[in-house]
Amino acid sequence: MTIKECIKKYSHELKDITHIPAKEIEILIMFLLEKNVIWIHLNGNKDFTKEKELNDLVKKRATHYPLEYLTKRVSFYGENFLIKENVLIPRPETEILVEKAFETLKQIKNPKIVEVGTGSGIISVMLAKIIPELKIIAVDINDDALNLAKENAIKHNVENQISFIKSDLLKEVSGDFNMCISNPPYISDSYVLPHNVKFEPTNALFGGTIGDELLKDLIQEVTSKKIRYLYCEYGYDQRESIKEYMKKFKVKSLEFYKDYSDFDRGFLIEFNNK
């Protein structure tokens, strides 16, 4: 069976799983052959010799198992990152948070930041790549995430800019920082997850009974450490709750931003620490 024929055959198995079944079969074939999309398109009439392996991957994908966990890679900000089970899969919307942080940090000489809940390390690694003088402490409570984030830092040659620490929020962190940045757990504990998300670590998703409890704990810790900026993602329905909570603190500015689908996605706080 040729590569083209395999794509046609197996894409039918994923038609109820994804809106791009043929593309996903291509990705799995590229993964098995260690080839890129141009090679696949130029060699579509060649015999495909790994149909059994493809069949196994497709059957697993048909259970809603994430494609990224199958290929052990994910794209973020145009770069390739390693990903594995028990670590949250990065979403494209988080690129907006990186861009917002960059706009502020590029105005600070030799900036130093702390990232809470680094996961696969994509936020810290990308910021380190685009701001060479940046120093980062990246924390997580998940050992698998910390180990993977270190691998991604090494892969992208920024390991000298980032220190990885196991910590619950900022409890094990000391020092002065210009900014805390985070994509923390913010989903309500009672929320029923979509099929594919159920394979991801719950401690990276659920933030409490309401969902924003952990966010509020982070805000409290950031203010106690007198960090000037807090840039965070949050739930689409948590704007008013966060806005009301911020009345307890000395805030110079509070800005909310939306994602690519026009949903509330994050907030940018500058505290008045003087």
Residue 274 has a pLDDT of 60
pLDDT at 14 over 90: yes
Identify the weakest region by mean pLDDT among 135-149, 157-171, 191-205, 258-272.
Answer: 191-205
Contact 235, 211 (CB under 8 A): yes
Q: State the Cα–Cα distance between residues 6 and 22, nearest whole angstrom.
A: 10
Give CA–CA dist 18/114, Å, rounded: 36
What is the average per-residue pLDDT within 25-33? 96
pLDDT at 203: 82
For the entire predicted model, the pTM comes to: 0.93
**Which pair of structure tokens corresponds to residue 43?**
């060699």
What's the mean per-residue pLDDT of the chain?
94
Q: pLDDT at residue 220 above 80?
A: yes
Residue 228 clears pLDDT 80, i.e. is over it:
yes
Specify the pLDDT at position 179.
97
Q: Return the pLDDT at 93.
A: 94
Task: With beta carbons less than 8 A apart as the criterion, state whether 145 and 120 touch.
Answer: yes
Q: Quickly state the pLDDT bin for 55 (edges 50, 70, 90).
A: very high
Tokens for 74, please give them.
């994910």
Cα distances (angstroms) measured from residue 211 to each of 37, 56, 140, 195, 249: 40, 37, 18, 20, 21
SS3 state at 180: strand
Residue ranges of domains in the chain:
3-63, 86-271
pLDDT at res. 197: 85
- Plot region of 100 (φ>0 → left; ψ -120 to 50 → alpha; else → beta): alpha
CATH class as words, domain 86-271: alpha beta
Instruction: List residues bridging with 2 in a β-sheet.
Output: 47
C-alpha distances in angstroms, 48 versus 6, 45, 107, 213, 247? 8, 9, 52, 51, 62
High-pLDDT (> 90) share of the chain, %: 86
Residue 134, pLDDT > 90, answer yes
Per-residue pLDDT reduced to its tens digit, 164-214: 999 999 999 999 999 999 999 888 888 788 887 889 888 888 887 878 899
C-alpha to C-alpha distance for 23 and 108, rounded to whole angstroms: 42
Question: What would the mean pLDDT of 70-99 be, rounded to a whole number?
Answer: 95
Per-residue model confidence (pLDDT) at position 17: 94
**HSE on the CB side for 195, CA within 13 Å?**
11
Per-residue pLDDT band for 111 (boundaries 50, 70, 90) equals very high
